[in-house]
């Protein structure tokens, strides 16, 4: 998936992120969200894309 944009929100437990990307196969936009530590932006984005909840 190609990342298009990321939105970050700070929480008491870490950072909540929404990653919007384009599916490599279908070309459709998809969005995933999740809570991450917030120490490494690139690693956090990757984690959200792999394990985050899908937003429809």
**What does the pLDDT read at residue 12?**
80
Decide if pLDDT at 56 tops 80.
yes
Indicate the domain borders of the chain. Answer: 1-9+28-56
* Integer Cα distance of 41 and 29 in angstroms: 21
What six digits make up the tokens of 48? 């959200």
Phi, psi of 49 (to 5 degrees): -65, -30
**What does the pLDDT read at residue 11?**
79
- Buried (b) or exposed (e) across 22-47, using 16+ Cβ within 10 A? eeeeeeeebbbbbbbeeeeeeebbeb
The per-residue pLDDT for range 4-54, each reduced to its tens digit, is: 999 999 978 789 999 999 999 999 999 999 999 999 999 999 999 999 999
* Integer Cα distance of 29 and 16 in angstroms: 20
């Amino acid at each position: 998936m190609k990342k298009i944009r990321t939105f970050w929100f700070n929480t008491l437990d870490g950072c909540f992120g929404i990653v919007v990307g384009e599916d490599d196969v279908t070309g459709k936009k998809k969005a995933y969200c999740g809570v991450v530590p917030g120490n490494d932006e690139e690693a956090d984005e990757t984690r959200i894309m792999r394990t985050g909840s899908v937003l429809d």
